[in-house]
Structures are given as C-alpha cells and as structure tokens.
Amino acid sequence: MARYFDVHPVDPQPRAIDQVVAMLRDDKLIAYPTDSGYALGIQLGNREGLDRIRRVRDLDDKHHFTLVCRDFAQLGQLVHIDNAAFRAIKAATPGPYTFILPATAEVPRRLMHPKKRTVGVRIPEHRVVRAMLEQLGEPLLSSTLILPGEQEPMTEGWLIKEELDHWLDAVIDAGDVVPSPTTVVDFSGGAPEITRYGAGDASRFE
C-alpha cells in the first residue's frame, strides 16, 4: 500500500519532502507531480525500481527514461554538451523541455538508448520536484505516468493512489496537474532536432 503525501504545490512542507527523499534513498518507487503531468520516480541506482516502472507502464527495454536534474551543473555531469548546445539549453532551463544528449560514463548503460548511447535530461520548474531534488542531491530517474493503452499522463494524485496503490510505495499529491508534455529536442546529432512539440517554445531551437 502506497503512502500518501498531501503537499503544497508552491510551498512544499519540508517534513513531507524529507520523508519522500528518505523513501527514494531506500529504493522506493514514487509517483510525483511535474509541470507536464504526474511521473514515476526512483533513485538513479535503483535497478529493481527500473523494472517496476517498466511493469507499471508495460515498457520494453528501448524506452528512453529521463534524468530529472536540479540545475545545469548537475545536468552537465551526465551528458556531453558542446558550446552551441550549452548556450541554447542554459537559456531554456528550467522549463518544459526534455533534451536528448550523448551520455557520460556517469550514466549507467542500462538507462541509455541501446544503440545511440543517449539519455533524456530535463530541469523542471515545479516547486515540489525542485525541493525533492535539492534534498536528494542527485538526479531522479523518471518516466511520465502514462498507463498502458492511454495517451495522456495521469493528472490527479488521489486517482493514482486509488488505481496504483499496490504498485507504488508513495504518491505525492500537490493538486491536479494540467497535462502539458515537454518539448523534446534531440542534440545527439549535433544540430538540434525537435522530435516532439510541447509546452516549451520550440522556435528557439529551429
């Protein structure tokens, strides 16, 4: 049965954040709100948690997971960025973008695209996520909470608790989230290629 945390979306309670982070460090699987819908999250080295996310979402081993980072410095430890990409990404973060970039040796191989050796990274604006990342001190391995057969991410914490109670260890409810997918920009080939248009202004990368 998942623990349920009712957290303020703008001023999250430190005690609740501390408890959630302690669960992440104990290799638990959480559902949490982002600025693009709810997501599933685990600590970076949680191998069992990765398999659990795949089971919840019915994913194969080719799925691109996302590393959710606190700031640009943390992101820079995980991916290779040339000067042009550095300037463009720096100007667009934090914000509703996911960037596909070549992974560094800091990223476990099982998290990379099997052929390209790339990984998705993002720096979100959501206050609850930023509070968790600040306390955790490392990126969160994440996947948007879209159930098998559905097209949109789940948006209501109480419904996630009701439907996935026995699949998850914790649900962080910070109010309903309007589904607004991130804009995905692939820098792995050098020049930016927009592979999904979403909430982020794509014109700056075109």
Domain ranges of the chain: 3-205
pLDDT on residue 114: 65
User: Is a pLDDT exceeding 80 seen at residue 111?
Assistant: no
CATH topology of domain 3-205: DHBP synthase (3.90.870)
Instruction: Output the CA torsion sign for 195, 94, 18, 157.
Output: negative
pLDDT on residue 206: 86
Q: Which pLDDT band holds residue 113 (cuts at 50, 70, 90)?
A: low
Pairing of strands 170-173, 37-43: unpaired
pLDDT on residue 43: 95
Distance of CA 15 to the CA centre of its chain: 22
Q: How far apart are CA 133 and CA 49, in angstroms?
A: 18
Mean pLDDT of the chain: 91
Taking residues 116-131, what's their average pLDDT? 92
Are 38 and 200 spatial neighbours (Cβ–Cβ below 8 Å)? no
Q: What percent of the chain has a predicted confidence (pLDDT) above 70?
A: 98
User: Is a pLDDT exceeding 80 seen at residue 12?
Assistant: yes
What is the per-residue pLDDT across 177-202, written as a single tens digit (0 to 9) for each? Answer: 888 889 999 998 888 999 999 999 99
Taking residues 96-119, what's their average pLDDT? 82
